[in-house]
Amino acid sequence: MNNHKSFKVILAVLTLLVFGMIFVHYFLYRNIKLMNESASILSSQVSLQSEREGYLISTQRAIQNLEPELDKINASIISKDGDVDFIEGLESLARQNNLSINIDSLVREENKNSGPVSTLKISLTTKGSWTSTYKFLLAIESLPYKVKINEYSFANELSGDTKPLAGNSWQSKFKFDVLEHK
């Protein structure tokens, strides 16, 4: 009977050891599984961050490559509150070409789709020689700004006997648009 008792004790101990091992394995398995999931999440986050960083670097390079062109575009648009300097520049161009100039209208037109840029619509009249007027037109077209000439008329002022007046006998009218930062 002693054998039988010791066999039951051994069996009970072995059963407890087996359940203990199963219990330990279960918690080890669960712990390894949680670590694996965490590692997978961290790996995907690192991969996503790497992709974002690559995208940002490529975008930054693209912006750096476009910077000279953006500078040219910005230079072709009148700076904010630069309309007075622009008009003074037009008047100076007219005087340099021996023309009298009159600014007939100056209107700022806002376009919802144009973003931070508005259009400055200018209408002006000059009087002077034909050569001076032509040089003034060329100077306007050569300005470093984006200028769109919408209308241009050139007329000879005649005296009563239909002969051209001496000197300032030509009158021109200009209507053009210039882009301006808002």
Measured over all CA atoms, what is the biggest interatomic distance in the chain, rounded to whole angstroms? 153
Contact 34, 27 (CB under 8 A): no
**Crossing angle for the helix pair 130-141 and 83-96, to the nearest 10 degrees:** 150
SS3 (DSSP) at 119: strand
Q: In the prediction, which pLDDT does 104 show?
A: 92
Nearest to 180 by CA among 85, 93, 101, 66: 85
Q: In the prediction, which pLDDT does 41 show?
A: 93
Kindly report the backbone phi and psi dihedral angles of residue 151, in degrees, each rounded to the nearest multiple of 5, phi listed first: -140, 145
Digit-by-digit pLDDT tens for the chain (182 residues) are 677 788 888 888 889 999 999 999 999 999 999 999 999 999 999 999 999 999 999 989 988 888 888 777 777 788 887 888 889 999 999 999 899 999 999 888 887 776 788 888 999 999 988 888 889 989 988 888 888 899 998 888 765 444 555 555 788 999 999 988 87
Q: In the prediction, which pLDDT does 170 show?
A: 86
Q: In the prediction, which pLDDT does 51 show?
A: 93
Measured CA to CA, the distance from residue 115 to residue 112 in angstroms comes to 7
